[in-house]
Structure 1
Amino acid sequence: MTGQNEAGVRCFATRIFYKKGEDIIIPLGLTITEAAGHLKVSRKTLSALLNCKTSLTPEMAVRIAKATGTTPESWLYMQAKSDIWNAEQKAEEIEAFREIIAV
């Protein structure tokens, strides 16, 4: 399960890091500011990711992977899955365009 921003864009980071049940920051007793400090990024940068305002970058994936003992690839895979889901939500627009070309 993932979160969504105001525009309805789905993102995985909110659910993984900051929502009840399946998060990393809260069980560790960290605030966003403290977690950002451990990741060596600004609070604003981490907050934007957690609030679905920005996508995960390869650099941030490396930082999170080092901090959590995971791999950057696993984080980027989750971002890619989320990006694909968001793109598929526009499939009707794409289908309509394809119908115009076929005419």
Structure 2
Amino acid sequence: MAIAVSPAFAVHPGAWLRAEIVEAHGLSVTGAAEHLGVTRQAMSALLNARAGLSAEMAIRFEKAFGVKADTLLRMQGAYELAQARAREAEIRVTRFRDAA
């Protein structure tokens, strides 16, 4: 039996990274971007939940702060699935029936 997780538990990884990593280390968006070797625009889009977390960015956070890239990517997947589930009724697909 699958456990249903409320979409309220699915947090965009950018919001979590902002609160728990960037701000906790006293960094600005610009400072975090410079340290991770990315543009300020890319960092801002991630931390403000306007862009998803890429595998490369997850590795950058892992190398810089020790947070596991796998964990961050699971957060991204859970967030995306919660967003899709919220509009599941709009997704029209019929069940596949094998001809055999």
Give the TM-score category using the shorter length. Answer: 0.7 to 0.9
Query: What residue is the counterpart of 1:13 in the other structure?
Result: 14
Cα-Cα RMSD: 2.2
Aligned match of 1:33: 30
Segments of 4+ moved more than 4 angstroms: none
Q: What TM-score comes out, normalization by structure 1 length?
A: 0.74
Cα-to-partner distance string for 1:5-32 (whole Å, 9 max, x where unaligned): xxxxx72311x1234xxx2212211111
SS in 2 for 1:30: coil
**Cα separation, partners in 2 of 1:78 and 1:36, compared to 1, 3 Å:** same
Unpaired runs of at least 5, structure 1: 4-9
User: When the two structures are aligned, how many residues end up with a matched partner?
Assistant: 88
Deviation at 1:47, TM superposition (A): 0.1
User: Greater Rg, structure 1 or structure 2?
Assistant: 2
> RCO higher in 1 or 2 (8 Å CA, sep ≥ 6)?
2
Q: Percent identity?
A: 33
For structure 2, the residue ranges without an aligned partner over 5 or more in a row are 1-7, 96-100
